[in-house]
Amino acid sequence: MRFNIHTHSEHSHDAAVTIDALCERAVAENLSGFAVTDHCDCEYAADPLTFTRLLDSCDDTLRARARYGDRLVIAAGVEIGEALYDRDFARKVIAARPWDVVLGSVHAVRWPGWEIPFSMIDFSGCDDAFLQAYLRRYYDDLREMAETEDYDVLCHLTVPLRYLCGKFGRRVETAVYDGQIDGILRVVIERGKTLEVNTSGCTAERPYFMPDEAILDRYLAMGGRNLTVGSDAHTAERLTNGLAQAEAMLRKKGVTELTYYLRRQPVVYRI
């Protein structure tokens, strides 16, 4: 069996693929099922589209389930981004539909003057001290989100590195955040939540997991058992990107079971 807990459709601001096209691709690629998890970026709560798009996403997903449900498990999900920006809005979205899974993410840290997704920030002119402080704030925000907000799966832990290192080629000392990261992993374990292995950065030649293997090793050593894989696909072509690589990597670590969600309850399957 193979599931994908994390995908985006035309109901996300940064994707154009229809849910039907994702379903067709899933069938063609022999996926057992996937969750549609469109963006709810809470710093944009004032834009009415942020809310209505999510209702459309859920309604379309439920319609797709009626059409493809004999071939696929289709979960209606939402990716709550930076719930700390507007906790009431996050709660309103979660209450608005019968979601199968709620992803918890941080794409924008609470940094005065830069309250926008870090994917939109030009970090090229920032000095090392700034980058370090910014990253500390990311982990602090993620920790607070993980501790206080409603979610099932904590997503793409370490994602700012993709921009700082991948996009801007900055060298970042990562060991200095181990304490903060371990604190987040502990919260995930204690609250019975699930940690995502995000494969969006994988290429055929080179795996790239968020979080990386060193962090996953620490999660397992701490007793963390709930893991899920998500390609974070924004196109049909990338629907299964990296999933097999992640499963192979996890199997080598002795992981034999992964989790997806239905009606916000974990469902365990073997890999």
The nearer residue to Zn ion, 18 or 225, going by C-beta atoms, is 18
Q: Which two tokens stand for residue 232?
A: 């974070």
Question: What CA–CA distances, in Å, run from 78 to 53, 117, 180?
Answer: 11, 17, 26
Shortest Å distance, C-beta 232 to Zn ion: 4
Of residues 72-111, those binding Zn ion (CB under 5 A) = 79, 105
* Candidate ranges 47-55, 116-124, 146-154, 226-234; the one touching Zn ion (CB under 5 A): 226-234
Q: How far is the CB of 12 from Zn ion (least distance, A)?
A: 8
Is the Cβ of residue 12 or residue 259 nearer to Zn ion in the bound state?
12
**C-alpha 175, offset from chain centre:** 23
Q: Does 43 bind Zn ion (CB under 5 A)?
A: no
**9 is a contact residue toward Zn ion (CB under 5 A):** no
Q: Which one, 140 or 225, has the nearer CB to Zn ion?
A: 140
Using the rule CB under 5 A, give the single segment among 171-179, 204-212, 215-223, 228-236 that binds Zn ion. 228-236
232 lines the binding site for Zn ion (CB under 5 A) = yes
14 versus 47: smaller Cβ distance to Zn ion: 14
**Binding range to Zn ion, per CB under 5 A, among 46-54, 55-63, 135-143, 231-239:** 231-239
Minimum gap (Å) between residue 127 Cβ and Zn ion: 27
Min dist. Cβ of residue 81 to Zn ion (A) = 6
CB of 86 to Zn ion, least distance (A): 17
User: Cβ 70 to Zn ion, closest distance in Å?
Assistant: 27
Size of residue set near Zn ion by CB under 5 A = 3
Residues near Zn ion, by CB under 5 A: 79, 105, 232
